[in-house]
Amino acid sequence: MDYISSRDTIVSVKASQAIIQGIAPDGGLFVPEEFPQMDLEAVLETAKKGYTALAAYIAAPYLDEFSEEEVQDIAANAYDAGFEHADKAPVMRLQDGQYVLELWHGPTLAFKDMALQMLPHLMSASRRKIGEQARILILVATSGDTGKAALEGFAGVEGISIAVFYPHNGVSRAQELQMVTHVGDNVFVGAVRGNFDDTQTAIKRVFGNAGYAEELAGRGFRLSSANSINWGRLLPQIVYYFWAYACLVRDRAVSTGGPVNFVVPTGNFGNILAGYYAKRMGLPVNKLICASNANNVLTDFFTSGGYDATRPFYKTISPSMDILISSNLERLLFEIAHRDGARVRDWMATLRSKGAYQVAQEYMEEASALFAAGCCDDAQTKETIRNVFESRGYLMDPHTAVAKRVLDDYMDSAKDFAPSVLVSTASPFKFSADVLSALGDVQADADEFELAARLGGISGMKVPDAILKLQDMPIRFKEVLDAGAIEARMLAWAQMQSKG
Ligand SMILES: *Cc1c(COP(=O)(O)O)cnc(C)c1O
């Protein structure tokens, strides 16, 4: 399988190169040259052997330069340990026709673990495959959850250093504590003045700076990315769409081949894009419902074909979705443009220069047939958390609650009653203060751990160890940087790492 750039189909590399490079040389994103077609019966059979087996099965055709055994090792290293649920990603019945795919049973309590437990092993296998000698420096911009999941995933992985940047005052207290207490020598964590888009743009600029790459190379480093634009992040995410479907068939919620909707709380468009890829591989997906918070740029896009990031940025109680520039949308644009890289290049150039672009109606037809979209604000999110808890006894984090709200609205208006899977992206204990406040239990002066204990008491859920253990960990990282200072800081850090 070769990978092409979303901006120029002439660029073509193997998976190992796509994963190490992170982004194509022309600034585009790597996409597989075709979508392997899966036999649904075979998928269902494989899923009976468990999540790890299914992950290897789905990933194999995309990684054909690796042996079957190598792919199985990568999947086993990713999923055999670190998840506290035997199903890894269990599917729960919420109510008639609505199911919850819980993607937060990994080490950092958010769905990012599903990909970031696998990416480091993909990267290290790719590094060996291409004979890379340089140490790899991973730069990550995080809206909250990716940072810790990446730190956790790359912990102790040979030949790799990792630096994580998050928006100052832009993540939850639990998210921040998870990052700034992280131990390990190959790790840097910094807060950036500005919001997530500022942070992400700064990191993208570093990747686009060829002179800087040379300077780093002189110090024995090669830059790479663990952000959701990396193909090695997307690939593992395709797996759980097939997995969820297999669970529904197993539980007789759908018959083999029957249509299923997925509703996905969306930020950078990576998660839902993986659902789209699953559909292209033959999964019977009816609708993909894109759920946004008050930063509803994607809702408008799917309604009108206009993508307009020039709008106020809101800090919400679902911070991992506080994004106005959804990088992975570029990969969907590439498909709806019938893989015309020049068209995508135009849209992206207009986005850069004007902050907005318009996709003509002829291109939107296919997207509109498959995608639905909706949004809700913080008040509606909180109301949903409370309603679901009171009526079903099920506790949702704010991101999942946004999806629940959007799903209910969608079912009301579209009268589409196909079984629907809510893709649940975080444990409520990552957002204890807001979840408690949604339940009407406001604790003004309590610290994160008192809040978690209180939430545990009300819900009857056990406070996750991943939260409890933060209590005794010293804060290691306190730097707050300007976005423009990242390059210099990283050069200095790389210097120290290479001496390390
Ligand atoms: C990252 C994240 C999202 C958004 O996922 P994308 O792939 O960026 O669309 C939603 N919810 C949570 C909890 C997240 O961590």
**Per-residue pLDDT, 68:** 97
CA dihedral 462, 473, 184, 492 (to 10 degrees): 130
CA distance linking residue 166 with residue 161, whole number of Å: 17
Region 370-375 average pLDDT: 98
The model's pLDDT over 350-369, given as tens digits with 9 standing for 90+, comes to 999 999 999 999 999 989 99
- Quote the ligand 1 centre to 500 CA distance (angstroms): 34
Pocket test for ligand 1, best of 324, 399, 430 (most atoms within 8 A of CB): 399
**Nearest partner of 29 among 7, 12, 49, 44, judged by Cα:** 7
**Per-residue pLDDT, 497:** 83
Q: Helix count (H) and strand count (E) of the chain?
A: 22, 16
**Beta strands 356-358 and 306-308, pairing class:** antiparallel
**Per-residue pLDDT, 25:** 85
Encoded tokens for 99: 């199911």
User: Ligand 1 in contact with 292 (CB < 6 A)?
Assistant: no
User: Ligand 1 in contact with 267 (CB < 6 A)?
Assistant: yes
Statement: residue 317 has pLDDT above 90? yes
Q: Which atom of ligand 1 is nearest the CA belonging to 104?
A: 13
**Per-residue pLDDT, 114:** 97
Residue 305 DSSP symbol:
S
Q: Which atom of ligand 1 is nearest the CA belonging to 266?
A: 9
Alpha helices (H) along 415-485: 432-438, 448-459, 465-468
Phi, psi of 189 (to 5 degrees): -130, 130
Q: What is the DSSP string of 68-102?
A: HHHHHHHHHHHHSSS-SSTTSS-EEEEETTEEEEE
What percentage of the chain carries pLDDT values higher than 70? 100
Pocket test for ligand 1, best of 385, 425, 427, 430 (most atoms within 8 A of CB): 425
Encoded tokens for 31: 């996409």
Statement: residue 499 has pLDDT above 80? no
Q: Which atom of ligand 1 is nearest the CA belonging to 265?
A: 10
**Per-residue pLDDT, 69:** 97
User: Ligand 1 in contact with 269 (CB < 6 A)?
Assistant: yes
Q: Which atom of ligand 1 is nearest the CA belonging to 267?
A: 9
**Per-residue pLDDT, 445:** 86
Residue 473 DSSP symbol:
P
Statement: residue 242 has pLDDT above 90? yes
User: Ligand 1 in contact with 227 (CB < 6 A)?
Assistant: no
Q: Which atom of ligand 1 is nearest the CA belonging to 425?
A: 13
Pocket test for ligand 1, best of 197, 227, 266, 434 (most atoms within 8 A of CB): 266
User: Ligand 1 in contact with 319 (CB < 6 A)?
Assistant: no
User: Ligand 1 in contact with 112 (CB < 6 A)?
Assistant: yes
Q: Which amino acid is at 188?
A: F
Statement: residue 159 has pLDDT above 90? no
**Exposed, middle or buried by CB within 10 Å (0-12, 13-18, 19+), for 75?**
buried
**Per-residue pLDDT, 143:** 81
∠ CA 435-183-322, nearest 5°, is 35
Q: Name the most confidently modeled range: 5-9, 48-52, 175-179.
A: 48-52
Band of the pLDDT at 500, cuts 50, 70, 90? low
**Per-residue pLDDT, 456:** 97
Region 198-221 average pLDDT: 90
Region 234-249 average pLDDT: 98
- Quote the ligand 1 centre to 426 CA distance (angstroms): 9
Which residues fall within 8 angstroms of residue 252, CB to CB, at 6 or more apart?
Answer: none
* Average pLDDT of the chain to the nearest whole number: 94
**Per-residue pLDDT, 227:** 83
User: Ligand 1 in contact with 266 (CB < 6 A)?
Assistant: yes
- Quote the ligand 1 centre to 400 CA distance (angstroms): 10
CA distance linking residue 297 with residue 310, whole number of Å: 9
User: Ligand 1 in contact with 275 (CB < 6 A)?
Assistant: no
The model's pLDDT over 271-310, given as tens digits with 9 standing for 90+, comes to 999 999 999 999 999 999 999 999 999 999 999 999 999 9
Statement: residue 337 has pLDDT above 90? yes
Statement: residue 409 has pLDDT above 90? yes
Q: Which amino acid is at 1?
A: M
Statement: residue 258 has pLDDT above 70? yes
User: Ligand 1 in contact with 175 (CB < 6 A)?
Assistant: no
Which residues fall within 8 angstroms of residue 273, CB to CB, at 6 or more apart?
Answer: 234, 328, 329, 331, 332
**Exposed, middle or buried by CB within 10 Å (0-12, 13-18, 19+), for 426?**
buried
User: Ligand 1 in contact with 295 (CB < 6 A)?
Assistant: no
- Quote the ligand 1 centre to 175 CA distance (angstroms): 13
What percentage of the chain carries pLDDT values higher than 90? 85
- Quote the ligand 1 centre to 470 CA distance (angstroms): 22
Residue 110 DSSP symbol:
B
- Quote the ligand 1 centre to 17 CA distance (angstroms): 26
Catalytic positions are 112
- Quote the ligand 1 centre to 460 CA distance (angstroms): 26
User: Ligand 1 in contact with 426 (CB < 6 A)?
Assistant: yes
User: Ligand 1 in contact with 106 (CB < 6 A)?
Assistant: no
CA distance linking residue 39 with residue 58, whole number of Å: 11
The model's pLDDT over 62-92, given as tens digits with 9 standing for 90+, comes to 999 999 999 999 999 999 999 999 999 999 9
CA distance linking residue 198 with residue 200, whole number of Å: 6
